């Protein structure tokens, strides 16, 4: 894959570059600011962008804004956000166009090189990858909601995996249940949460996140 990386911390940037190259990927640009990121993305048109949310010059959401502008110019450009913070709005803004190819993971949970590269590949292929900790925080914040409270413990587990962008097969494998059982649980979840069912993984994630952030 051809990858553009945006990270202002030298040690982390260098480490990620070395990791990606070890797995045979080409880091075509490694930038440190929002403006440089936008220039690199529009000029190089990579297979995927790995973006720190908080970049210079303001260190607020410059990375996110540059990624959003790049996706506006190049619809569907795959973007994986890296952040130190759980902020659902970041994921929602990327997911809002419904094009897929987005991810949001926390920096301090990138400790498995193979898993990290698999996440990048999933996003590059047009899928969705949400950090389990982000999903967990969202669910905790909605504990008082009567609809969410009506879910069984197993349905809540399935919902967490669903919000991460996992397929029915992936959920079944992770929870050691059948795909038929997963489909049944998802149907029940959508009914209880008043969500429109969909066969599209990205639409399923978008529906779940929209509900959790309501």
Q: What is the pLDDT of residue 120?
A: 94
> Are the CB atoms for 88 and 138 separated by under 8 Å?
yes
Domain ranges of the chain: 2-129, 135-212
The fold for domain 2-129 equals: Rossmann fold (3.40.50)
Q: What is the pLDDT of residue 196?
A: 75
Q: What is the pLDDT of residue 53?
A: 93
Let me know if the fold of 2-129 is the same as that of 135-212: no
Distance of CA 120 to the CA centre of its chain: 9
Distance from C-alpha of 103 to C-alpha of 77, rounded to nearest angstrom? 12
Structure pTM?
Answer: 0.78
Element (H, E) at 28: strand 26-31
DSSP string of 157-195, one letter each residue: HHHHHHHTT--HHHHHHHHT--HHHHHHHHHHHHHHTT-
Mean pLDDT by 10 residues, the chain (214 residues): 96 94 97 97 97 94 94 93 80 72 84 88 88 72 66 89 84 94 92 76 66 60
DSSP classification of residue 34: H
First to last CA, the chain: 36
Q: What is the pLDDT of residue 190?
A: 86
Which of 33, 67, 62 has the alpha carbon at shortest distance from 50? 67
Q: What is the pLDDT of residue 132?
A: 78
Q: What is the pLDDT of residue 135?
A: 72
Query: For the domain 135-212, what is the CATH code?
Result: 1.10.10.10
Q: What is the CB neighbour count within 10 angstroms for residue 21? A: 12
> Are the CB atoms for 213 and 88 separated by under 8 Å?
yes
Q: What is the pLDDT of residue 73?
A: 94
> Are the CB atoms for 202 and 128 separated by under 8 Å?
yes
């Amino acid at each position: 894959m051809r990858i553009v990386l945006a990270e202002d911390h030298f040690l982390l940037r260098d480490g990620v570059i070395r990791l990606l190259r070890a797995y045979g990927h080409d880091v075509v640009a490694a930038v440190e600011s929002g403006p440089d990121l936008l220039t690199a993305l529009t000029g190089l048109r990579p297979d995927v962008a790995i973006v720190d949310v908080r970049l210079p010059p303001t260190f607020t959401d410059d990375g996110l804004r540059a990624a959003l502008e790049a996706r506006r110019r190049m619809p569907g450009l795959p973007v994986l956000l890296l952040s130190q913070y759980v902020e659902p709005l970041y994921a929602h803004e990327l997911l809002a166009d419904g094009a897929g190819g987005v991810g949001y993971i926390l920096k301090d949970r990138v400790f498995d090189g193979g898993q990290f590269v698999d996440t990048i590949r999933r996003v590059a292929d047009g899928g969705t990858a949400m950090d389990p900790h982000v999903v967990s925080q969202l669910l905790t914040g909605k504990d008082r909601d009567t609809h969410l409270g009506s879910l069984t413990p197993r349905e809540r587990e399935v919902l967490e995996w669903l919000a991460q962008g996992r397929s029915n097969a992936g959920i079944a494998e992770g929870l050691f249940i059948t795909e038929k059982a997963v489909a049944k649980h998802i149907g029940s979840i959508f009914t209880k949460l008043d969500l429109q069912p969909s066969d599209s993984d990205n639409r399923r994630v978008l529906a779940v996140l929209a509900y959790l952030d309501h």
